[in-house]
Structure 1
Amino acid sequence: MKKDVLFMTGNEDFSTIIEKKAYYVDKTSYLKELFMSSYEVMNALFIRPRRFGKTLNLNMIKSFCELNYQNPGDKSYQQKLFIDNGRNLAVAGEDYKDLREKVMGEYPVISISFRGVEGNTFQSAVSGLLGIIAELYERFLFLRESVNQSEERIKQFNDIYSFCTTKYKKLSDPDNLNEAIVICCSFLATLAEMLYREYGRKILVIIDEYDVPLQKAVIAEEPYYNKMLEIIRKISVTTFKQNPDPWLYKGIVSGCLRIAHQSVFTDANNFTTFGMNDEPYTGFFGFTKDETHKLLADCGLSEKENEVKEWYDGYRFGNKHIYCPWSLISYCYAATQKDIYTPQPFWVNTSGNDLIALFAKNSIDAHDSGNIERLQQFSDRNIIEITLKEFSTYPDINNNMDFDIFMTLMLHTGYATYVEETESSDKVKIRIPNNEVALCFKSKFESFYTKNNHHWFNQTLSLVDLLMENKTDDAQALISSMLKQFLSIRNTGDELYYHGFMTGILGIAATTKGLEYHEEIETGSGFSDIILDNFDSESACILELKKAESLDVCYLAAQDATKQIIKKDYASKFISKKYKKIYGIGVGFAKKSCRIVSLGNLAEDSANQ
């Protein structure tokens, strides 16, 4: 293990990483694909999960291409960052010489990120967008002094900048809000035209996280999706329209989801989308197997490679195995700087897990057993088959979404991946990528079965009442219903699964009702599975659980459970205390169903002997 490796976790500025001599996984070879190859496209949309290096890669592209505005033709900045840094980056090679001469430091660049455009109201989101515009325009204030610009253009620039810096908090005024919307829709084209006039060179436009404002608009307290969609669409139209302005050189856009692609880029037919399986960019985002192998070796952590693979590998982009870069860098930092070698969940703790909870909750509330069962299979880390389906608007997320649509969404966002033998087609096989994501599903599902989920918790309270009253028919129906709702990450082939299930649903509910709850407690000549004890009413319920091999013998398993209650004399403790009601109940489980057999009130049987 090496302590001298510097990691700048969370830093997405390429120049800072290089200048500070921090660790950098070289992705500069893809510059040739972007700008000088048969794969070159006019406008590219890259779809990848969050924290897979999109922002850093786009920043690297900006650093490589951007013109020195004060001294056009001076490429010393790029020379220092990409060539004379002692790192032997791919782009410094002789076969990239033509690229460096024609692209490096040659273009004005407009680069923005929509990551921070959010808010509980439309006005607050627009205010956030105005702040981004103000920061962008501040970088180009020198254009106001140029003799190449018309007075009209300079006035337009000043009006936009002034409005963004002085009225961004005054959008409750309808007139101000309307003017803000106009500015948001036109700011990029206005600046691009001025840069084109100033330098006579076409403009590279980079937009990072284009879809964040749409995501945030859906989950806001006062949803405003359609209003935000109109702004993002108009930005697209004024920048990437079918017949582009002469100032546009190329557009590079990133996002997490392909959702809203058609509605946002309707008038930008020259857009090419590169998803996870689209060559030649399958290795552009995330760390490949070879890159990971080198990273661990450089950190003196080669012996941890198998463990790291189980936690952070598992993604398949095209034919490549891809590791989550955020988690891998975070792990290496913890190991080299803090001597923490146990893998931790890094990526799943960076937000964005609400979609899982929302889909599962909607499926449970709708009693959609088909969705629940398939999600159960997936969360148990089984391979499942889905039909790839896209959807056109984010509000679909809040509806009772089709399972295949939801799983397509999980693929986009990094919670699912293609299995080895799957080819990219309509029908694909998918699975959970790694331990980190599996842990995320486990924690999300466990949160459903707590007091916070009122629908579920009320069912557990009812079950306690039914069992304490020996209403076995109703209890049997309720348990079977709850089994079909229960999203576990354990194997239903094991009796411990059912024991864990019953423990989970009865433990908190019994305590809430003032009952003592015991499991595996010694009583009689053995250890009973579960006991519910109401001291005040002198009543108890003794539960013995058995797993059946099939539904056909589920009833027999329940009978065997009651025989064990008698044989082991589990009721003796309560009989000696003179309890009035002691119910002995055997429960047989098979798959997602159960059968219950009751011995009746064992206190009465004892009194009659």
Structure 2
Amino acid sequence: MARTVSIGTQDFEKMIQRNCFYVDKTGFIKEWWESEDEVTLITRPRRFGKTLNMSMLNCFFSNKYADRGELFEKLEIWKDGKYREIQGTYPVIFLSFANIKQNSYKGTIIKIKKIICDEFQKYAFLKDWDGLTEVEKKHIRELDYDMSDESAQEAINDLSNYLSRYYGKKVIILLDEYDTPMQEAYVNGYWEELVAFTRSLFNSTFKTNPYLERAIMTGITRVSKESIFSDLNNLKVITVTSGEYSKCFGFTEKEVFDALDEQGLSDEKEKVKLWYDGFTFGKSKDIYNPWSIINFLDEKNYKTYWADSSSNGLINSLVKTGSSYIKMMMETLLKGETIGVPIDEQIVFSQLDYSEDAVWSLMLASGYLKVISSDKLTGDRTKSVMYKLALTNFEIKLMFEDMILRWFSPAKNETNEFIKALICGDIESMNAYMNKVALKTISYFDTGNVPSDEEPERFFHGFVLGLMVDQSENYIITSNRESGFGRYDIMLEPKDKQTQKYPGIVIEFKVINPRKENSLEETVEAALKQIEEKNYDAELINRGVNKENIHHYGFAFKSKEVLIDGQ
């Protein structure tokens, strides 16, 4: 009989007691325990079972679950007698930063202090225990939500001390979603303040804590060691490219196909694989994201479950406001092709505004990209590895296509009219419509008070992505490729070479250069001249497009003013 599929349950005890659909991941317990690593950081994309696995560890090790072996007796870990003896024998401190999503430093620190204080309240009996000194008892009584930053930073170390003395055993510390506050701090502009606080908190909790047996942290990203882990030389880091625990988070293909069989959906395996397969951890390929699979088992419909479970705000912002290079790379990915970029898995959030490599690193860690192959770089960039990356699966492709369409929603009608004018060669309409679009959309993309000279180029490469979505049935669209004696900016190759309805199109962009040109008219003339002199038509002609059916367009820019001409 098929088990009930429970959506959103992250409590291991509830999952087992209710006999809900559950994929056995208790092998994680054994692999972690036998690693002998003191402090382990495991990064995985969101909705990949991190919280459920941490709840499982808590139920297995915590002495609050002593004599609760029935939770595990049907699972893999219970086959090993050694682990039956360990179950329920350790004091465990279990914290989660998953809900710390404040837009200010003050609000974030208040939430962290509340979480720490609430954890102390679970052990309120300690304040009356004779094994503590009067000073220590007074310390527990005085801890509250208004505690000083210094008290908060030392609190988990203090609690470890008290619990280890009370139970006669060192503590296990579990911290889930450690980096959620970090991402919010970056987005909302209080990164440096939070780093300083967190560095001291983590140093006291995980480094200078003599009462610690083992610890695990989970998160989406590996925040750079220099930021918050500078003092933690006892930290074992497991990222999406590491070999350890590669099958402990997410579902393997066998686990997914077994689940489809159980739920009477055996005929859906091929389509489920297209939509939701593609994640790679270490050398383990064909990993599926659990959130989409569980929701598909429940609803039996194909939807972008994982992509829709978050606003994807940070990724959206980084791509939307990124350079033309980032937009061109996204164009390549959306075509189903791969990109080659250097990746340093230590995410430095302060670099995201100017480092394109950091953007790809974040997208890989977050699950939007998958590794096809990798090669170690040499020389000055010894920390980085050159990766060949692709979009993870069809669900992610749909997510990005929808994201790009939303970028253009402020000027959607104008954009549609511009495309018609572009194909028909209506220069007057192109100028009228595009100046409206440029005025609205380039302002929308600005990230600072002073518009960048590169904004027009950024916009139009983003615009190419919009064209891809709307015109992919009629055109093969490429940009910044070699043709003739140079590199064109944008080329639209009609799929039907025999019809006059869809001409070949070559576009060249130029920002006015005051040292060479006195007006936009001179700039647009230079753009058209470059198309002719560099023989950009060569590629279209070689592909079967008639020379007479190729349109040339020059786009000239000065701030938010656009002038278009053609021939």
**TM-score over 0.5 for the pair:** yes
Letter in 2 for 1:237: N
- Paired residues of 2:44 and 2:239 also in contact (CA < 8 A): yes
CA distances 1:429-481 after superposition (whole Å, capped 9, x unpaired) = 11111111111110111122231699999999999998337979x99xx9999
- Paired residues of 2:418 and 2:430 also in contact (CA < 8 A): no
Q: Secondary structure in 1 aligned to 2:222?
A: coil
**Pair 1:454–1:97, CA change in 2 (3 A):** farther
Aligned residue for 1:507?
A: none
* The one of 401, 404, 413 aligned to 2:366: 413
**Pair 1:195–1:302, CA change in 2 (3 A):** same
C-alpha displacement at 1:180, in angstroms?
Answer: 3.5
Letter in 2 for 1:373: M
Query: Are 1:218 and 2:173 an aligned pair?
Result: no
- Paired residues of 1:557 and 1:588 also in contact (CA < 8 A): no
CA distances 1:517-571 after superposition (whole Å, capped 9, x unpaired) = xxxxxxxxxx996xxxxxxxxxxxxxx644589623769969745xxxxxxxxxx
**Pair 1:447–1:596, CA change in 2 (3 A):** same
- Paired residues of 2:95 and 2:174 also in contact (CA < 8 A): yes
Query: Are 1:238 and 2:192 an aligned pair?
Result: no
Q: Whole-Å Cα distance in 2 between the matches of residues 50 and 587 of structure 1? A: 46
C-alpha displacement at 1:132, in angstroms?
Answer: 1.4
CA distances 1:228-260 after superposition (whole Å, capped 9, x unpaired) = 11221111110121xx43311011011100123
TM-score, normalised on structure 1? 0.71
Q: Secondary structure in 1 aligned to 2:194?
A: helix
Aligned residue for 1:126?
A: 109
Query: Are 1:112 and 2:71 an aligned pair?
Result: no
Q: Secondary structure in 2 aligned to 1:428?
A: strand
* The one of 187, 199, 203 aligned to 2:155: 187
Aligned residue for 2:14?
A: 16
User: 5 Å matches for 1:57-72?
Assistant: 57-68=53-64
* The one of 365, 370, 383 aligned to 2:338: 383
Q: Whole-Å Cα distance in 1 between the matches of residues 113 and 296 of structure 2? A: 37
**Pair 1:458–1:156, CA change in 2 (3 A):** farther
Q: Secondary structure in 2 aligned to 1:76?
A: coil
**Pair 1:417–1:133, CA change in 2 (3 A):** same
Q: Whole-Å Cα distance in 2 between the matches of residues 361 and 186 of structure 1? A: 41
Q: Whole-Å Cα distance in 1 between the matches of residues 129 and 473 of structure 2? A: 78
Q: Whole-Å Cα distance in 2 between the matches of residues 471 and 24 of structure 1? A: 59
Deviates more, 1:107-116 or 1:256-265: 256-265
User: 5 Å matches for 1:190-201?
Assistant: 190-201=158-169
- Paired residues of 1:133 and 1:187 also in contact (CA < 8 A): yes
Q: Whole-Å Cα distance in 2 between the matches of residues 491 and 462 of structure 1? A: 17
* The one of 319, 330, 343 aligned to 2:295: 330
Of structures 1 and 2, the larger Rg is shown by 1
Letter in 2 for 1:75: A
Gap runs ≥5 in structure 2: 378-384, 439-455, 480-498, 507-534, 555-563
- Paired residues of 1:50 and 1:256 also in contact (CA < 8 A): yes
Q: Whole-Å Cα distance in 1 between the matches of residues 8 and 430 of structure 2? A: 58
Letter in 1 for 2:57: I
Aligned residue for 1:75?
A: 66
Aligned residue for 2:307?
A: 348
Q: Whole-Å Cα distance in 2 between the matches of residues 215 and 225 of structure 1? A: 8
Query: Are 1:433 and 2:397 an aligned pair?
Result: no
C-alpha displacement at 1:42, in angstroms?
Answer: 1.0
Q: Secondary structure in 2 aligned to 1:152?
A: helix
- Paired residues of 2:370 and 2:390 also in contact (CA < 8 A): yes
C-alpha displacement at 1:113, in angstroms?
Answer: 0.5
CA distances 1:43-95 after superposition (whole Å, capped 9, x unpaired) = 11001111101111011011100013xxxxx8312x12111xxxx311111xx
CA distances 1:187-231 after superposition (whole Å, capped 9, x unpaired) = 2112111101111100001111111111111222xx211111122
**Pair 1:481–1:153, CA change in 2 (3 A):** closer
C-alpha displacement at 1:9, in angstroms?
Answer: 1.2
- Paired residues of 2:421 and 2:430 also in contact (CA < 8 A): no
Deviates more, 1:15-24 or 1:123-132: 123-132
- The share of aligned pairs that are identical, in percent, is 25
Letter in 1 for 2:333: F
Query: Are 1:362 and 2:345 an aligned pair?
Result: no
Letter in 1 for 2:49: G
- Paired residues of 1:263 and 1:392 also in contact (CA < 8 A): no
CA distances 1:462-519 after superposition (whole Å, capped 9, x unpaired) = 99998337979x99xx9999654422584999671379x9xxxxxxxxxxxxxxxxxx
C-alpha displacement at 1:13, in angstroms?
Answer: 0.6
Query: Are 1:100 and 2:90 an aligned pair?
Result: no
Q: Secondary structure in 1 aligned to 2:21?
A: coil
User: 5 Å matches for 1:40-55?
Assistant: 40-55=36-51
Letter in 2 for 1:150: T
Q: Whole-Å Cα distance in 2 between the matches of residues 45 and 124 of structure 1? A: 25
TM-score, normalised on structure 2? 0.76
Q: Secondary structure in 1 aligned to 2:216?
A: strand
Q: Whole-Å Cα distance in 2 between the matches of residues 215 and 441 of structure 1? A: 20
Aligned residue for 2:525?
A: none
Letter in 2 for 1:46: I
Q: Whole-Å Cα distance in 2 between the matches of residues 298 and 359 of structure 1? A: 41
* The one of 538, 547, 551 aligned to 1:552: 538
Q: Secondary structure in 2 aligned to 1:451?
A: helix
Letter in 1 for 2:355: M
**Pair 1:470–1:288, CA change in 2 (3 A):** closer
Letter in 2 for 1:233: R
Aligned residue for 1:91?
A: 77
Q: Whole-Å Cα distance in 1 between the matches of residues 412 and 154 of structure 2? A: 45
- Paired residues of 1:48 and 1:413 also in contact (CA < 8 A): yes
Q: Secondary structure in 1 aligned to 2:23?
A: coil
Q: Whole-Å Cα distance in 1 between the matches of residues 194 and 262 of structure 2? A: 45
**Pair 1:196–1:469, CA change in 2 (3 A):** closer
C-alpha displacement at 1:266, in angstroms?
Answer: 1.3
Letter in 2 for 1:253: M
* The one of 392, 401, 406 aligned to 2:355: 401
- Paired residues of 1:385 and 1:428 also in contact (CA < 8 A): yes
**Pair 1:587–1:250, CA change in 2 (3 A):** same
Q: Whole-Å Cα distance in 1 between the matches of residues 392 and 70 of structure 2? A: 39
- Paired residues of 2:7 and 2:294 also in contact (CA < 8 A): yes
Letter in 1 for 2:90: Y
- Paired residues of 1:377 and 1:384 also in contact (CA < 8 A): yes
Q: Whole-Å Cα distance in 2 between the matches of residues 110 and 186 of structure 1? A: 14
Gap runs ≥5 in structure 1: 69-73, 168-178, 336-341, 502-526, 530-543, 562-585, 599-609
Letter in 2 for 1:413: S
